[in-house]
Amino acid sequence: AQSVTQLDSQVPVFEEAPVELRCNYSSSVSVYLFWYVQYPNQGLQLLLKYLSGSTLVKGINGFEAEFNKSQTSFHLRKPSVHISDTAEYFCAVSVAGAQKLVFGQGTRLTINP
């Protein structure tokens, strides 16, 4: 069965600094990878996804992620963060042919002025 590990439960960053949120997965078969963002008391919004093709994917709000098959990683990056990026970020994986999404434990990104 697949699993997802988000290595950092909390990441504090100063405004306009770069940030990387780490995500590693385990699976013996082909996977699809996702990053979602959750603002307080709201549902999840899709930031970006890797389904096929280029391993560098760009999403909304200036975020991007790179799928690294050899390292089984899908780290999320943003070159310059804003206060409004303060939220919980979830990495998720699904296996080809399966319906379910498996989520990581989430990373709380806090942007300090």
Partner 1 sequence: GAVVSQHPSWVICKSGTSVKIECRSLDFQATTMFWYRQFPKQSLMLMATSNEGSKATYEQGVEKDKFLINHASLTLSTLTVTSAHPEDSSFYICSARLGRGLAKNIQYFGAGTRLSVL
For partner 1, which is the closer residue by CB, 47 or 81?
Answer: 47
Contact of 21 with 108, CB cutoff 8 Å = no
Please identify which residue in 17, 46, 56, 60 interacts with partner 1, judged by CB under 8 A: 46
For residue 27, what are the contacts with CB-CB under 8 A and spacing of at least 6? Answer: 2, 72, 93, 95
Is 32 one of the binding residues for partner 1 (CB under 8 A)? yes
Window 72-91: contact mask with partner 1 (x via CB under 8 A): ------------------x-
Using CA atoms, how far apart are residues 96 and 77, in angstroms rounded to an integer?
A: 25
For partner 1, which is the closer residue by CB, 28 or 113?
Answer: 28
First to last CA, the chain: 41
Binding residues for partner 1 (CB under 8 A): 32, 34, 36, 41-46, 49, 51-52, 90, 94, 96, 99-101, 103-106
